[in-house]
Structure 1
Amino acid sequence: MTTPSIYNNLTQLGSNTALPESPEQAVLESVPNPELEVDYLVRFTAPEFTSLCPLTGQPDFAHLVIDYIPDQRLVESKSLKLYLGSFRNHGAFHEACTVGIGRRLIAELAPKWLRIGGYWYPRGGMPIDVFFQYGEVPKGVWVPEQKVDGYRGRG
């Protein structure tokens, strides 16, 4: 099978790539949108997202849902996975992580629309949910609910 030329510039896909030391060092790669004539939604779900509390260094856990409507570029999923994984050693509050991920994707992709829901598990006995949105949904695009239940504890 020959590799289409739109993938020639990718540096992480198809190779053993180490987890970046930090989100700033992570490389987010993209490819041209092959469906420019149609508006559609792309969803990434990261149910085991981890970062560190910037004050205590203790781990924080979240279920992230990233929805975007691409314009010219699509994020390459392995690079997104590595970028999200780089937060494991990164100290930041929930709001900074969630909004920062959204802003980085906007800077790299210039999507028509993007939203990210960060459903954080309890810290100090209280879960924190953080939501960030950019742009307006183009007419006619189906945007499903994120449907992540709020934290209920056991059972």
Structure 2
Amino acid sequence: MNTDEPRDMPLHLGQQSSLPSSPEEAVLDYVPNPRPGALYTIRFSAPEFTSLCPVTGQPDFAHLVIDYAPGATIVESKSLKLFLGSFRNHNGFHEDVTVGIGQRLFEEMQPRWLRIGGYWYPRGGIPIDVFWQSGAAPEGLWVPDQGVANYRGRG
């Protein structure tokens, strides 16, 4: 749920908040970048992300890694947690879910750069990894490996 009216305070920070019923209803909060002149990377890892298969309705599991170089704002972590949790009852293909999360964060927050890696656990015996980034990383930005190994099953 996007609103055109700016809020003075984050909606969720310091408040009791319920899990949104859908990603569209989730409100992401952004706060001022505490180091606006610095070029740095912020990473969020969500190793227990879930959504639903749009065909079978069965749960899909992924390890999401979101890296970004902030601009004027940073995403408030509690609102991000609630946004990601809202996908638990959301039907979507891996590609749509992963890219959609990255694009929404990029469009709303307007960071200098953003990438997302969606490392999905096997469906039908095939793991699917989905990657999206807003463009080339700014020169001089430290961009570490996302650190998620290829799926090896029990081997």
TM range (shorter): over 0.9
Contact in 2 for aligned 1:94/1:130 (Cα 8 Å)? yes
Residues 1:67 and 2:82 are matched in the alignment? no
1:3 corresponding residue in structure 2: none
2:4 corresponding residue in structure 1: none
By how many angstroms is 1:150 displaced?
Answer: 1.2
Q: Deviations over 1:50-94 (max 9, x none)?
A: 000001100000000000001111000000000000000000000
Residues 1:15 and 2:15 are matched in the alignment? yes
Percent identity between matched residues is 66
By how many angstroms is 1:137 displaced?
Answer: 1.5
Residues 1:127 and 2:127 are matched in the alignment? yes
Distance 1:124 1:77 in 2: 33
Q: Deviations over 1:14-43 (max 9, x none)?
A: 121100000000000000111111110000
Aligned length: 149
Distance 1:30 1:124 in 2: 38
The one-letter amino acid paired with 2:50 is: T
1:4 corresponding residue in structure 2: none
The one-letter amino acid paired with 1:19 is: L
User: Counterpart of 1:79 in 2: which secondary structure?
Assistant: helix
Unaligned runs of 5+ in 1: 1-6
1:143 corresponding residue in structure 2: 143
Q: Deviations over 1:85-112 (max 9, x none)?
A: 0000000000000000001001111111
Aligned residues: CA RMSD: 1.2
Distance 2:66 2:141 in 1: 16
Residues 1:83 and 2:70 are matched in the alignment? no
Q: TM-score, normalised by structure 1?
A: 0.93
Contact in 2 for aligned 1:112/1:135 (Cα 8 Å)? no
Contact in 2 for aligned 1:112/1:136 (Cα 8 Å)? no
